[in-house]
Structure formats: structure tokens, C-alpha cells
Amino acid sequence: MPYGGLIYIKGNSPKNESAEFTFTGVVKAPFYKDGEWKNALNSPAPLGELESDAFVYTTPKKNLEASNFTGGVAEFAKDLDTFASSMNDFYGRNDEDGKHRMFTYKNLTGHKHRFTNDVQISIGDAHSGYPVMNSSFSTNSTTLPTTPLNDWLIWHEVGHNAAETPLTVPGATEVANNVLALYMQDRYLGKMNRVADDITVAPEYLEESNGQAWARGGAGDRLLMYAQLKEWAEKNFDIKQWYPEGDLPKFYSDREGMKGWNLFQLMHRKARGDDVGKTKFGERNYCAESNGNAADKLMLCASWVAQTDLSEFFKKWNPGANAYQLPGASEMNFEGGVSQSAYETLAALNLPKPQQGPETINQVTEHKMSAE
């Protein structure tokens, strides 16, 4: 008899009400939640599901033996939640309501990330959406195909769902989500391994690109722009200037190798209209306003939050630009990117130029891991 798949019931009542349903011709599927098996792992259905505080994860049931996790499915569930919590941190989300509401948290029931391993998905090896889908499908494997704290795939795909301004400039569809993945590598592996080799030649690449490094490069090249900015901020950005009084929100870090991410976290918060530093740095929020040009916003936001004129860095990269070649032409043409008016706006702020700009960065910080 063919297996039709898992059955889900979704209510449409605004109230939290209970109801009873009766099904025939069905069998139980393994289901793990709240630290225990609600339906046993040896339940008849071939697919099983694990629900943590932040994720619902679907996979062939034998995978849920979780032989690749010392602590079994309990450890796996905890790691999924740690990833979700870390994503909240990266985006500077620490509230249960309002503009900085977390994507997921324990009390936000019925609103969780979903990840499904399936034998046939709609496109590619994996894709974002709801659920995120992955083509890793081995019915005989006792290992889970996802390791949440060391897995570019889940960071990349869930990162697509979470990507926010000001990082999402034209051409950053497969880039902005990977900035989250770099953050995860830094936080849990001690180094941005993905860009560690390529960044060594980034300054030379910028020189050869003649002010069009973004348009001339692919997603891997473009990711170097964000990596350079992070590494520059590691030594040149002090988050405390924005919070001169009181304690810093806990998602900011003073850990070596992680301090550069404070710049990105505040940029995200400012893009959502955060008021911190309003009296010190002026009423105008360059991360929240827009002239319709996302590249302008990115440059103005990064420079304003850093309180440093980063125009030379952005002139070399020119994020958001697009390259094209006309029939019969021997040279590439370029369009888009940061506008002249944005450079004029930045110049009018009279911010200091960096002694050594992000465009000179050619290595990543490798730091010791600390228990979290």
C-alpha cells in the first residue's frame, strides 16, 4: 500500500481552542517534542518529525536515531534552537513584540522554522521557503543529514528566509543570506572558513576590477565585501559609542573575532528604526530612509553607524551594480550601484576617513572558541 505522507491539521480560529479529529487508513509517525517521543521512533510511518522550540524538522525516521550526535535527538533539537537564537542575535532581534521581535522564541507557538528532507524537491539540491527543503534523503541512514552548528546548507537556506535590508542590494540574493552563515562560522567554528582563502587576494581583485568589483564578480566574490567590512569593524568599530550609558544588549559581543559583527547588528536594528544614539548622532537615520536605491542605503548606513567615511571602500566594490555586454562590443558595460548623490550626502556628513579602509583587509580573524 502506498504511503501518502504526513498529515497536518491547521486551524483558522483566532482563539486557542481544542478539537478532536478522526482519521481512518492511517498509521502513526515518529514524533519527538518537549524532550520525549510522543510517538515512538519505531512507529510504522517511514517519515518522522522532530519539533524543537524553534524548528520543525522532517526526515526519514531512521535518521532520527541520530547516531552522529552524542546526545541523540535531544542534542540535535538543542542545536537547532541554538542556531535559531543565533540568527536572532545576528539580526539584533531580542524582543517578543515590536520592531525587534525575534523570528522565533519559545512562547511564540505555531510560528517555527520548518526544514524537510525529501526524495524529490522542486528545484536544485536544496531551496528556501516554507519549508526549507533538502534533497538529502537516505531511508537507511541512522545519521541526521543536518548539523545545525556546522552546516552551510541550513544557514544558507534559512538565511534566505531571514535576509533583511540593508544587506539586500541588487545582486545579493545568494550573498546576503551567506553573511549569516559567516557569522555562524565565526561564532561556532572560530573563523570565517568560507572566505579565509579568497580574502587573501581581495585587495588585488579590487584593484583589477576598476571600481566594478561587485558587477564583475560572482556570489563568492561579493561575499568578500561583507567579510572585509566585518574584519575592518573588528578593530575599528566600538559599539559602546552608541550605548554610552547602561548595559549593552546581550546579543552584542566583546569576544575577540566577534566584535566586528556588532556593526552589522546595529545596522539591522537601525534599518528597523531603532532610536539608540538619536541625541548623540542626529535625528536622521540613514539606515531607515530610502531613495529607492538599496546600494545608497547600504553605504550611508554602514558609514553612519561606523561614524567613518567608507566611500573609498564602496567605490571599489560598487555594490548593486550590474554588468552587461552589447552584441559586437569588446568591453563590458555597467549600470546601477551607488549613486553620485549618495557620495555627496556622505561627504556632507564630514565623517573621518579610515587610516586603513576595509578595502585593504586580506585576512580573517581566527580566534579561540569559548563555551556559550
In the chain, what are the domain boundaries? 31-160, 164-360
Separation in Å, CA 65 to CA 6, 7, 36, 75? 19, 22, 13, 12
pLDDT at 158: 98
DSSP state of 249: P
| C-alpha of 143 from chain center | 25
Does residue 51 contact residue 29 with C-beta atoms inside 8 Å? no
CATH code for 31-160? 3.40.390
The single-letter code of the amino acid at 235 is K
Residue 194: predicted pLDDT: 98
Whether 164-360 and 31-160 are alike in CATH topology: the answer is no
pLDDT, averaged per 10 consecutive residues of the chain (372 residues), comes to 78 81 94 98 97 98 98 99 99 98 92 93 87 94 98 98 98 99 98 98 98 98 99 98 93 97 99 93 91 96 99 99 92 96 98 98 88 57
End-to-end distance of the chain based on CA atoms, in angstroms?
48
Count CA atoms closer than 13 A to 161's CA, side-chain side. Answer: 21
pLDDT of residue 219: 98
Q: 190 burial class (0-12, 13-18, 19+ CB within 10 angstroms)?
A: middle
Q: For residues 188 and 180, what is the distance between their CA atoms, to the nearest angstrom?
A: 12
Q: Could you give the CA distance from residue 136 to residue 122 in angstroms, rounded to a whole number?
A: 13
Neighbours of 79 (CB within 10 A): 22
The label of the residue with cell 545568494 reads 174
Q: Strands 55-60 and 47-51, how do they pair? A: antiparallel
* Look-up of cell digits 565585501: 225
DSSP string, 57-91: EEEEGGGGG-TTSTTHHHHHHHHHHHHHHHHHHHT
Pick the CATH number of 164-360 from 1.20.58.1690, 1.20.1530.20, 1.10.390.30, 1.10.357.10: 1.10.390.30
What pLDDT, on the 0 to 100 scale, is given for residue 79?
99
Work out the burial of residue 330: count CB atoms within 10 Å of its CB; fewer than 13 is exposed, 13-18 middle, 19 or more buried: exposed
pLDDT at 372: 59
Q: What are the backbone dihedrals phi and psi of residue 268, each rounded to the nearest 5 degrees, phi first?
A: -65, -45
The pTM score is: 0.95
pLDDT confidence of residue 1:
45
CB contact at 8 A, 158 and 115: yes
Residue 3 is predicted with a pLDDT of 65
